[in-house]
Amino acid sequence: MKKIVGLTGVILIACMMISSLFAPVNSAENTSATNDYSVSQSGDTGEGEYIIKAENGYIVVYRKGEDKPYLTTDCRVSNLPKGDVLYLEKGIEIKGKENLMKALEDYCS
């Protein structure tokens, strides 16, 4: 009897681990940054410094030294760990558009 209960427990744990591998990672609110942002300016050369911030519950990107948002994402800050939210409230400096897109992908996926 103990062997059957133990074997059943092992099987249940294995099933839970396998099902977690196939569970969807993104929720409906937490979408990819590459699809869900609007650019306020066109003709970007890919160079520059940016600041990623949390504003009104969303992640917003500014060019360093500018007051108008450069990117406005649909990524909710409430989906992030508290440590990330604290950094975003202060503002995170990013150099280069490629690094910016990587950072947004990390926060928004």
Would you give the distance in Å from CA 72 to the centre of its chain? 13
The pLDDT, as a whole number, for residue 59 is: 93
Question: Using CA of residue 42, residue 99, residue 89, residue 58, what is the dihedral sign?
Answer: positive
pLDDT of residue 108: 87
Q: Which residue has the higher pLDDT, 11 or 101?
A: 101
Look up the pTM and report it.
0.57
pLDDT band at 13 (very low <50, low <70, confident <90, very high): confident
pLDDT in tens, 50-64: 999 999 999 999 999
3-state secondary structure of 28: coil
Gap between the terminal Cα atoms of the chain: 46
Q: What is the pLDDT of residues 77-93, one digit of tens each?
A: 998 999 999 999 999 99
